[in-house]
Structure 1
Amino acid sequence: MAGDPDRVRRPADPAPADVEAGLFTLPNLITFGRLCAVPAAVWLMLHHRLDIAFIVFVGAGLSDAVDGWLARVRNARSRLGALLDPVADKALLVSVYVTLAAINVLPDWLAILVVFRDLLIVGGVMLLWVLGVPAHIKPLMISKANTAAQIALAALALLLAGFGLSAPGLLDAMVWLVAGTTFASGVAYVLQAARLTGEGGSRPR
C-alpha cells in the first residue's frame, strides 16, 4: 500500500518520479515494436502473405500481454506506456480489419462498423473536452468482450485464408458476433457520454 510507513522508510524502493522518468523502458520498447508491426502486417496482407501476417498478428498479441506483465512486475509503468499501449492495439486492429476487407477476406461493412465505432468514441471524448466535462470514460464489459471478439475474428480470418483452411460457418458466426458487440459497445459508450454530459450540465457554476 502507498500509505505504508515501512515502505516510506526503505530507501531501496524507487520513487514514483523515477518510474515516470523512464522513457526507454523494456515495456515501452515492446509496445513500440508492436506499433511498428502495423505497417509490416498491412504490407504482408496486401501481398497476400496472410500466413506470415497471421504469425505477426499473434506475436503482436503476445507482446501486448508481455509488456503489461513486465510493467507490473518491474514497476515500470509510465504515462507514455499508458498512452502508447492502446494506440498500438487500436492501430493494429483497425489496420488489419481495413486491409482484410480491402482484399475481400472480411466484409467491407464490418470494417466500416469497426472504424466508425472507434471514431465515435474518440469524437465523443473530444466533444466532452470541448464542453468542459471531465471525460472519465470507464472501460465497459461489453467493450472488453468486443475487443476479444475482434482479436479472435482477425486471427481466425488470417489463419483460414493464410493456410488455405475452410470453416465458413465459424467465420460467419464470428463476423456477426463482432458486428453485434461492436454496435452494442458503441451504443453503450454513447449513453455513458450522454450521462456524463447531463451530470456536467447540472453542476452549479
Structure 2
Amino acid sequence: MNLPNKLTIVRIIMIPFFVFFLLTDFVAGSKWIATVLFCAASITDFLDGHIARKYNLVTNFGKFMDPLADKMLVSSAFICLVAQNKIAAWIVIVIIAREFVISGFRLVASDSGVVIAASYWGKFKTNFQMFAIILLMLNLGENFPAYAGGIHIVEQILVYIALILTIVSLVDYLAKNIDVLKEGGNEK
C-alpha cells in the first residue's frame, strides 16, 4: 500500500476520535482537540491527492477510497453540527443526499469497469465544506462576542457557498458521466 492510500486510511481512522471529542466534554478543551483532529484529517486529504499525482501513485483504491473518506469525514462533522444546532438540518440533508447520489453513481460506473475520480468542482466543494465546518466548530462568535454578528455572517456565507458548490458538483458529475447511466440502462 502506497503513502497516499495510507494517508486516506489514517483519515478514516481519525473520524471516530474526532466525533467523540466534538460531541463530548471528555477533557477540558475537547472542542479544540476535535478541531485539531478535523484539520489534520483535512490536511491528509490534500496531501494524499498531491502526493499521488506528483509521484504517479494514483490507484483505483485511492480513486475510490479518497472521496469516500472525505464523505465520511464531512458528513460526520455536519451531522454533529446539526446535533449542536450550529447548522440547519435541511442543508446537511442536501449535502449528504448529494454524497449518496454520487456514491451510487460510482457503483453503477464500477459495474461497467469505469472508475470516476473526483472532479475539480468536487474538490472545491469539499474545501468550502471543510472551511465552513472548522468555523462552525470554533464558534468564534462565542469567544469574540463584539464580532459575533460579523462572524455569523461569514459562517453563513461559507455554508451557502459550500451548499451551492455541492449542487454544482453534482450536476457536473452527472453531466460528464451520463453515458455510464445510459450504458447501464441498455443492459437491462
TM superposition score normalised by structure 2: 0.76
Indicate conservation of the 8 Å contact 1:28/1:80, yes or no. Answer: yes
**2:6 corresponds to 1:29:** yes
Gaps of 5+ in 1: 1-22
* CA offset digits 1:150-175 (Å, max 9, x no partner): 11111111222597343111011112
- Residue 61 of structure 1 aligns with an amino acid whose one-letter code is S
Indicate conservation of the 8 Å contact 1:51/1:162, yes or no. Answer: no
Residues 52-201 of structure 1 aligned to structure 2 (within 5 Å): 52-71=33-52, 77-128=58-109, 132=112, 135=114, 137=116, 139-160=118-139, 164-165=143-144, 166=148, 167-198=151-182, 200=183
Tell me: CA distance 1:45–1:201, structure 2 relative to 1, closer, same or farther (3 Å): closer
Tell me: CA distance 1:180–1:59, structure 2 relative to 1, closer, same or farther (3 Å): same
Structure number with higher helix proportion: 2
Whose Rg is larger?
A: 1
Indicate conservation of the 8 Å contact 1:101/1:107, yes or no. Answer: yes
Identity %: 27
Give the structure 2 partner of residue 8 of structure 1.
none
- Residue 37 of structure 1 aligns with an amino acid whose one-letter code is M
RMSD of aligned alpha carbons: 3.1
Indicate conservation of the 8 Å contact 1:105/1:157, yes or no. Answer: yes
Indicate conservation of the 8 Å contact 2:136/2:155, yes or no. Answer: yes
Tell me: CA distance 1:105–1:184, structure 2 relative to 1, closer, same or farther (3 Å): same
* CA offset digits 1:32-71 (Å, max 9, x no partner): 2211110011111111532221111111122233334444
* CA offset digits 1:80-136 (Å, max 9, x no partner): 444432222221111111111121112111111111001011222334566x5x546
**Which whole-Å CA distance do the structure 1 matches of 2:118 and 2:54 have between them?**
23
Tell me: CA distance 1:197–1:85, structure 2 relative to 1, closer, same or farther (3 Å): closer
Tell me: CA distance 1:44–1:67, structure 2 relative to 1, closer, same or farther (3 Å): same
Paired residues in the alignment total: 177
Q: Alpha-carbon deviation of 1:79? A: 4.4
Gaps of 5+ in 2: none
